[in-house]
Amino acid sequence: MDFDYDLFVIGAGSGGIRLSWMVAISGAKVAVAEQSRVGGTCVIRGCVPKKLLVYASRYGEDLVDAAGYGWQVETRGCSWATLIERKNREIDRLNAAYVGMLETAGVTLCPGRAVIADPHTVVIAHDGRRITARHIVVATGAWPALPSIPGIEHAITSNEALEMRELPRRIAVVGGGYIAVEFAGIFNGLGSQVDLLYRGEQILRGFDDDVRQMLADEMAKKGIAIRNRTSVLALDKATDGTLHTTLDSGGCGDYDAVLFATGRAPNSGGLGLEGAGVALDAKGAVVVDAFSRTSVESIHAIGDVTSRVPLTPVAVSEGAALAATLFGGRPTPADHNNVPSAVFSQPEVGTVGMTEAEARAAFGELDLYKTSFRPMRHTLSGRDERSFMKLVVERASQRVVGAHMVGRDAAEIIQGIAIAVKMGASKAQFDMTVGVHPTSAEEFVTMREPWAPPASPACPVSGDPGLQKS
């Protein structure tokens, strides 16, 4: 049977771009539909603009800390309008770069919404064009999910938070996951008064418990009011624009903005998936096997729409694996083991492998190594900020099965540690590695004594006193 294209990808986000580019440069005929802007969540309204705002928000503290090093700096604060304008320019540049990259590779871009009509046909919604393809891949990502409470229409999500006209003087951030914690840090760093309202016991559920506690303590030191066990029951908007929150605790609060970061739902509606026979799970995620194949042989799905591990680099690696499977003659399953990740909170969190609780459930006996110290940078700045690192070691094999950090540059540091964990390095191999001195990162290879809970009320401080860490 003849098809218009070998591959039709719905969604030009991180996964869809990588897949369509790889397949096109191998010589196959590829088209990709995008209803918004090429780049998807990560580039247009996620990781990239968020990280730029994180950078911006750190300068306030850095300028204060510089005084400890003799700098005499006067600041009149950050211009939100300038920041957003410059961020938008950078996003435009990246969007154009991705469009150029796809076009150079020979990918046909189909602006608009594509709907699956049958296992080999899509229809472009606005002009009714029918396009056939040997393989169809759904890479439509996810979208912020909001609870249905009265007044929720007054809330914003991370999408709007990146585009606000003014920096809110007072903001409530609802949720305790990646996005909530990151935006709480951004707004706090830029000078807003921030309340973080989380329904659970402690922020960052699913992360190592020591990391959660440490980050909550450090965020509180910076002035973020974390209110755990708190849910918003309703929002009201006053005539002056003030948002009034009613809380389940009986309390309330007034804000200029209320940001809900309460998770993301797969973009699987209205795509014709059910009609074509593609199975979805109870939450609307496309069900796939290890090779990203759906219940229909010619239709695959990658990235956040499958709700496997909703991270950009994972979507990219799923796209690359699928290109190898469908067009490279090398069936390659997606690999979701030991995926490192970072939360760009302030300070940052970096993590790879198992939490202590996960490892205990899997292996029973563990050796734990922990260190908490004031980084050298803050000896002269005087800032009361501590860093924390933890290694989780399976006792029987002495394999490092988890590494966790809270502290400046944790994201950068954990990337290197992740290679060792992925390779199955033992604690002895960590110990064998010479540290880079003087750094915080060297603590990962100098923690010698296992942590002993009853005897040590506080985490032992390891390492060389010459490091000036304390």
Binding positions: 51, 175-182, 263, 304
Pick the binder of ligand NDP from 343, 359, 389, 441 (CB under 6 A). 343
Candidates 271, 342, 410, 445; binder of ligand NDP (CB under 6 A) is 342
The distance of closest approach from Cβ of residue 178 to ligand NDP in the complex, given in angstroms and rounded to an integer, is 4
As a residue count, the chain comes to: 470
- What is the spatial distance between Cα 213 and Cα 35, in angstroms, rounded to a whole number? 41
Q: Which is nearer to ligand NDP, 310 or 402 (CB)?
A: 310
Q: Which is nearer to ligand NDP, 134 or 404 (CB)?
A: 404
Contact present, 348 and 342 (Cβ < 8 Å): yes
Angle at 283 between CA 279 and CA 284, to 5 degrees: 45
Q: Residue 311 CB, nearest distance to ligand NDP (Å)?
A: 5
- 199 touching ligand NDP, by CB under 6 A: yes
Q: How far apart are CA 330 and CA 401, in angstroms?
A: 29
For ligand NDP, the closer of residues 206 and 275 by Cβ is 206
Residue 27 φ/ψ region, left for φ over 0, alpha for ψ in the -120 to 50 degree band, beta for the rest: left
Residue 434 burial (10 A CB sphere; 0-12, 13-18, 19+): exposed
**Does 205 interact with ligand NDP (rule: CB under 6 A)?**
yes
- Is position 350 an interface residue for ligand NDP (rule: CB under 6 A)? no
Nearer to ligand NDP, 261 or 425 (CB): 261
In the set 244, 378, 404, 437, the catalytic residue is 437
Q: Using the rule CB under 6 A, is 157 a contact of ligand NDP? A: no
Alpha carbon distance 11, 64 (integer Å)? 43
Q: CB atoms < 10 A from the CB of 146, how many?
A: 16
Of 67-75, 118-126, 170-178, 449-457, the window that binds ligand NDP (rule: CB under 6 A) is: 170-178
Q: DSSP state, 291?
A: T
| Span near ligand NDP by CB under 6 A; candidates 129-137, 194-202, 327-335, 446-454 | 194-202
What is the signed CA dihedral for 334, 335, 340, 345, rounded to 10 degrees? 30
- Whether 378 sits among the annotated catalytic residues: the reply is no
Give the separation between CA 235 and CA 257, rounded to whole angstroms: 11
Coil, strand, or helix at residue 180? helix
Binding mask 290-319 for ligand NDP (x = CB under 6 A): --------------------xx--------
Amino acid at 139: A
Compute the distance between CA of residue 2 and CA of residue 184 in angstroms, rounded to an integer.
53
Q: Minimum distance from CB of 60 to ligand NDP (Å)?
A: 21
Binding ligand NDP by CB under 6 A: which of 37, 134, 135, 264?
Answer: 264
- Beta strands 349-353 and 341-343 are antiparallel
Q: In whole angstroms, give the CA distance from residue 345 to residue 352.
A: 16
Q: Rule CB under 6 A: is residue 263 a binding residue for ligand NDP?
A: yes
CB of 157 to ligand NDP, least distance (A): 9
Binding region for ligand NDP (CB under 6 A) out of 62-70, 178-186, 207-215, 455-463: 178-186
CB 363 within 8 A of CB 398: no
Strands 264-266 and 121-124: unpaired
Given candidates 178, 255, 373, 451, which one binds ligand NDP under the rule CB under 6 A? 178
| 106 lies in the binding site for ligand NDP (CB under 6 A) | no
Instruction: State which residue, 264 or 374, has the beta carbon closest to ligand NDP.
Output: 264
C-alpha closest to that of 147 among 128, 112, 174: 174
Window 217-236: residues binding ligand NDP (CB under 6 A)? 231
Rounded Cα distance, 373 and 442, in Å: 12
Piece in contact with ligand NDP (CB under 6 A), picked from 169-177, 287-295, 424-432, 442-450: 169-177
Contact 131, 112 (CB under 8 A): no
Counting contacts by CB under 6 A, is residue 344 touching ligand NDP?
yes
Cβ–Cβ < 8 Å for 260, 147: yes
Residues 66-105 that bind ligand NDP (CB under 6 A): none
How many chain residues touch ligand NDP (CB under 6 A)? 24
Q: Which residues are annotated as a binding site for NAD(+)?
A: 175-182, 263
- Output the known binding site for FAD: 51, 304
Residue 424 per-residue DSSP state: T
Chain residues that interact with ligand NDP, rule: CB under 6 A: 147, 174-180, 182, 198-200, 205, 231, 261-264, 310-311, 341-344
Catalytic residues: 437
